Every structure is written in structure tokens, then in C-alpha cells.
Structure 1
Amino acid sequence: MSAPRARTSSAFLEISADNWRLAIVMGIVVSAAAAAALPATVAFWIVGAMTALVAAAFAVNAYRRHYYGGLLVAPAIAVLFTMNIFPLLWSLGLSFFAYQSNQQSIRFVGLGNYIKVLTNDIAAADNWHALTNTAMFVVLTVAAQMIIGFLLAMLFAKQFPLRKYLLILVLAPMMLSVVASGVFFTYYYDPTFGILSYVMNGITDGQFILMDSKAGAVGGIVFADAWMWSPFVMLLVLAGLVSVPKYLYEAAAIDRVSAWRRFWTITFPYIRGLLMLALLFRTIEAFKLADLVILLTKGGNDTMTISYHLIRVANEQNKTSEGAAISYIMLFMVIVLTNLYLYLANRRNGES
């Protein structure tokens, strides 16, 4: 047993171009030391050099061992690391420092930013209030999208005249950018010349301002978001509906099974997984709701969400490190929600 261990340790300590294990250890140690002891501008380039060293060790190892498949996907992995993974890790490291974008000073504070955003009287109150509003929007928007999308899918699962053209019209909002949709609803809700105000003014004999109260502002945002993303839920559910074998419905008709029992025993099992998938996707996206709030209310009438609050903290108040801490708290919550969904889905599959 000692001889293989000795060979393994000697191979690990061997200085060679393809020793990726030693390159990873050196990269972590040197990067951590540089971040703790050197100025940020110098540490940035040292961390970049260590990352390049690890990537080169992986590439040489793949070439010498004839792992050509890995070499072929290496450019895509490099782009993914540069555009996604590295900024994610950099912002994670930044959350442990006291740094503001309008200042050059930076110092290590450990968990200080996390403690501040969770326990500081003013900051914590704003964060929790924005998080409460976010939870409200998540429940309302996701519920509206699931219900409307499901009903639209049940409608378009049947054949009727002009079905293709109506389907294109229903899918059109999902193809628009959020900015375009937000600007459209800004004019739609406008109290002076908006269509909604024009119709309501004729009914109430007075000026109708939807965004004048919290209930109206929340309703306007929920309606705009549901208008955009209910077609996404519809597409997923429709894919499940069209996959149901026709002979099951024919057999149910022969047995004179009621419409509700037909739906519950035949249709629903085919669309249950897709409904859960739509619920997961739309919950994660609703948790990041900020663009429509910015365009329609700018956080007024108590509609501040945690994502918009994060933008204001990081960009407008220049509290970069605190913004990074809030973003990783959000990421942790999304991960918890996702794992809870997967647990419930696996448990249901196991029971069935």
C-alpha cells in the first residue's frame, strides 16, 4: 500500500506542464495570498495569470493523454468561464471586502457585509421589506401565469378556425423585449391618454389613475408580467396536451367517464411534469423581477423588489460589496427553492 501512495504523492509534486492538480493548488494558494496582501489592481492580474496557468495545465494534460474531445470543447468552456464563472467568483470574493465603486480603497471585512445587510437596522429593514414585496409578486405573477397559461393551452389544444393565427398573436408578447413591453404598458396605464384610463373615465366620470395606489400598482405590474409570460407556460402545457394518446380519450368515452375524471386520470399525468417545470422557471424569473418595476413605478407605491433594491444599492449608492452580498443571499434563496422543488418532484415520482 505504501508504494502506490508514494508514487501518487510524487506525481502530485512533480513539476510538469500537464500536472493540473499541482496547478490548481498553486493557483488557489497564490490567488488567496495575492487577494489578501496585494492591492486590488495587482491581485486581479495575478488571479488571471493563475487561472490561465490552470487552464494551460488542463489543455496540455488532455493533449498528452489524447483527450481530444476535451480539447474540442475547451474554447466553449473558456468562453463560459470568462463570461459567467469568473464574474460569479469575482463578485463572491468582492462580497467579503469593503469596496465602493466610486472609491479606490478596499479592505477585507469577512462576513461583515452579510451581517450588515441582515442585521443593520436601516439596511435590514429595507432588505426585508423589499424581500416581502418580492414574495408577494412571486405568488401573484406565477399564479396568474400558471392559470392563464393553462387555460390557453386547453383552448389551443383543440382545433378551431383561425387557430394558427390566434396562436401567433398569443405568442407575440413573449417575443418582445421587456423594455418594449414596459413602455407599452406605461402608455396603456397613462392617466391622460391611456386606453385603460379612457375606458374607466367613461364609466366613473372622473380621472382614473391605476398607479395611484399600491393595489393598483401591484395589479398593473402583475398584469403586464402575466401578459408577457403566460404564453411560455401555455407552450409547455400544450406540448404535454398534444402528446396524450387519442385512444385513451376514446376508451374513456366508451366507458362514459366524466370530463373531470378524464382530465384527472388521463390528461393531468401527462402535463404534471411540465407544469412543475413551468412553475420552477417562472418562480426563479419572478424572483428577479426588476425591469417592469423600474419602467412602471420606479419602486413607488411600495412596489420595491429585492432585485431593484439591489440595483439601487450597488449602482446608485455605489455600495458595491453590499450589493454583492445581497445578490448572493438571493442566489442562496433561489438554490433553496430549486432544491425544494426537486425534492418534491422526486418524492412524487417515487410515490407514483
Structure 2
Amino acid sequence: MSLTQSARPTPTLFNVSADNWRLAIVVALVVSIIAGIVLPAAVSFWLIGAMVALVAASFVVNAYRRRYYGGLLVAPAIAVLFVMNIFPLLWSLGLSFFAYQSNQQSIRFVGLNNYIKVLTNEIAAPDNWHALSNTALFVVLTVSAQMIVGFLLAMLFAKQFPLRKYLLILVLTPMMLSVVASGVFFTYYYDPTFGILSYVVNDATDGQFILMSSKAGAVAGIVFADAWMWSPFVMLLVLAGLVSVPKYLYEAAAIDRVSAWRRFWSITFPYIRGLLMLALLFRTIEAFKLADLVILLTKGGNDTMTISYHLIRIANEQNKTSEGAALSYVMLFMVIVLTNLYLYLANRRNKGG
């Protein structure tokens, strides 16, 4: 049978059939929006779930009739991804348009009121923007420290020397630890009574040294702990680029008696530039979500409250679920803007090169 004979015509939007996934998406969106606004939450939840099942079934029927067996094979994985990731994301987005608290049963539609409140409210907005400014400070300091330390470590381990293999495993160990374990370790490390840091400084100054007693010390302690954990990640990416540089380029440069700086700028840097940009993107996104180390080391004290920890307190401790959801999507928008800015700069650099 030829491809022309086996091909099925693509159904139009208004053609009612089991495999018309376009019509199923439109119907699901319309019904879900109306149900979320008009019907009670207990009813709209199941109705929206039924609309999701309708769309999924239309995709499966469409794939079966058109013999897209590859799509059918990955359908279970997509279903798990939807249930575990996409559905909670969409559900939290829906909650951001309602007035809902986790300790109450009432829920009502308020539109963009939660977004307006977290951005302009006289009480909430200053705290939000102050936490955001603290987050920006942590992003600049932690990412800069990780990029510098990770790059220097990569340059070191790109060379062969005795015990290199064992030292490399030792350097990679912090990245393998959980954040809780690292946070507890640095809690004892910074402890003013029996911490190692305080013990050394106290012997040198004949006084009690408390690192976390000021904002500068608390920020430095958090930055050091975060850089200690994630500098090896940057090192791995940069090291992958360094070991890929062809040896004959260095040999030719040595014959021409090119300076060390010129060799690095003309030969080494072009191979690691893309990986450095990738490490910068990944670590910036992760630093923007910094909350765990702040909770473990300072609990937001000494003016170290980050936007992620502030979001946790709004949603969980104050039970302002809808406001927390709105603030989380404001954060998501900022991360998307940063990512697109990175991609724009990367593409512009590639075109210029």
C-alpha cells in the first residue's frame, strides 16, 4: 500500500471525531476556564481532570490511527511527566487567580488581584522587593565565586600531576552531598563556641568571633558554603572543554613561541567559552532559588531573607497559598527573562564569531 493510500486526512478544527486533538484542546480550555470561575472547587477539579483525560485520549487515538507508534511508546513517560510536573504547575497557576488559603475551605475567583498585591501592596510589596534585592546580591556573589573557583580548579586538574585522581575525587565530594548535610556541617563550622573557624580566629585575636552576627558575615558564610558545594560543578564543565582542546594546537604555539596568555586567549578560551556560559546560566538559575542554606544557617536573620525563602514563609507558614503561587510565577517570569537574555547574548556572540 502506498503512502498516499495509507495516509488519513487531517481533521479540521470543527470536525467532530475521536482523533481531533485540536478540537479537544479548545473544548478542554473553554470548559476548564468556565468551570474554574463558576463551579465549586470540588466539582471543577474533577471536571478539569476529565478534560485533561479527553485531550490525552484524543492524542492517543490520533497516534494509533496514523500509526505513530513511536508516540504511543513514549506516551506512558509523557503521562508520568504530566502528572508529576506539568499538572502541579498548571494547578498552581490556576490557584494564583483565586483567593485561597490552605487552612480554609473557601475559594473565590479574584483574577489578577494576587499579582497586584504581591507587586504593589503597601505591606507585602516592600518585603517582596527587599527579599528580591537580597537574592540578587546572593546571585552575584555566589555565581562569581563559583565561576572563579571552578575555573581555577579546572585549569589545575587539566594538568597531570601526582595524586591527581584522588584529589579530583576529594574536590568533587561536596557536590555529591545533600544540601542538608552541607548546611549542618557549616552550622557546626561557624558555631561561635566550638566551631573550627571561631576556634582559629579566637586564638589569633583573643576574643570571641561570631561570623553570623552581622549581615556581611552571614552573607559571606552562605556564599562560602554555596561556593564550596557547587564550584566542582563548574569545574567539571570547564574541564570537559579543556581536555577536548587538540594537543597539536599547543605544540604549534610552542614552536611559534607564543606567550602563555596568547595561547590561552586564542586556543583554550574558544573551546571553553560555551561551557562557561552554560555553567553561568545553570548556576544563576539555581542561585536565584537559594533558600535551603539560608534556612539552615540563618533562618533569614541578619537581613539574609531571599525571595525563595520568603515565598516558603508566605505559602506555608502564613497559609497564603494563592499569594505564594502568584509570587512564584513572578519568579518564574524573571528566570525566563534571564534565560532568554542569555540565549540572545549567546546567539549574538555566535553570529558575530
Q: Give yes or no for TM over 0.5.
A: yes
Where 1:190 maps in the other structure, the secondary structure is: coil
Map of 1:337 onto structure 2? 338
CA distance in 2, matches of 1:95, 1:272: 40
For 2:281 and 2:11, how far apart are their aligned partners in 1? 48
Distance in 1, Cα, partners of 2:322 & 2:12: 40
CA distance in 1, matches of 2:63, 2:188: 57
CA–CA distance in 2 between the matches of 1:249 and 1:133?
A: 44
Letter in 1 for 2:241: G
| Whole-angstrom distance in 2 between the partners of 1:244 and 1:54 | 49
Give the match's secondary structure for 2:221.
helix
Indicate the SS of the match to 1:13.
coil
Counterparts of 1:161 and 1:78, CA distance in 2: 50
Q: Residues 108, 203 of structure 1: CA spacing in aligned structure 2 closer, same or farther, 3 A cutoff?
A: same
Displacement, 1:16?
2.5
Match of 2:321 in 1: 320
Unaligned runs of 5+ in 1: 1-7
CA distance in structure 2 between the aligned counterparts of 1:17 and 1:269, rounded to whole angstroms? 53
SS where residue 121 of structure 1 aligns? coil
Corresponding residue of 1:251: 252
The aligned counterpart of 2:268 is 267
Aligned to 1:4: none
Q: Percent sequence identity over matched residues? A: 87
Distance 1:338 1:114 in 2: 22
**Separation in 2, partners of 1:62, 1:161:** 58
Larger CA deviation: 229-238 vs 97-106: 97-106
Equivalent runs, 1:11-90 vs 2, <5 Å: 11-90=12-91
1:112 maps to 113
Deviation at 1:33, TM superposition (A): 1.2
- Distance in 1 (CA, whole Å) between partners of 2:262 and 2:61 is 62
CA offset digits 1:134-159 (Å, max 9, x no partner): 00000000000000000000000000
| Cα distance between partner residues in 1 of 2:60 and 2:247 | 53
Q: Give the superposition deviation at 1:125.
A: 0.3
**Separation of aligned partners in 1, 2:327 and 2:50:** 29
Q: 2: CA distance between counterparts of 1:10 and 1:278?
A: 45
Which residue is equivalent to 2:191?
190
Shift of the alpha carbon at 1:14? Answer: 3.4
Deviation, 1:26, is 1.4
Could you tell me how far 1:327 is from its partner in structure 2?
Answer: 0.3
Deviation at 1:204, TM superposition (A): 1.0
Separation in 2 of the partners of 1:222 and 1:323? 26
Partner of 1:201: 202
Cα separation, 2, equivalents of 1:33 and 1:343: 38
Which 5+ residue runs of structure 2 have no aligned equivalent? 1-8
Q: 1:5 corresponds to which residue?
A: none
Instruction: State the secondary structure of the residue aligned to 2:87.
Output: helix
Alignment partners' CA distance in 2, 1:154 and 1:272: 14
What RMSD in Å do the two structures reach over aligned CA positions? 1.1
Which residue identity does 1:65 align to in structure 2?
R
Counterpart residue identity of residue 55, structure 2: V
Per-residue deviation at 1:10? 8.0
Alignment: residue pair count: 345
Within the alignment, does 1:293 sit opposite 2:278 as a pair?
no
Shift of 1:101: 0.6
User: Which aligned pairs between 1:137-152 and structure 2 lie closer than 5 A?
Assistant: 137-152=138-153
Task: Output the CA distance in 2 between the equivalents of 1:179 and 1:27.
Answer: 42
How far apart, CA to CA, are the structure 2 residues paired with 1:26 and 1:154? 57
Deviation at 1:13, TM superposition (A): 3.0
Shift of 1:61: 1.2
Task: Show the counterpart of 1:230.
Answer: 231
| SS at structure 2 position matched to 1:15 | coil
**Code of the aligned partner of 1:121:** E
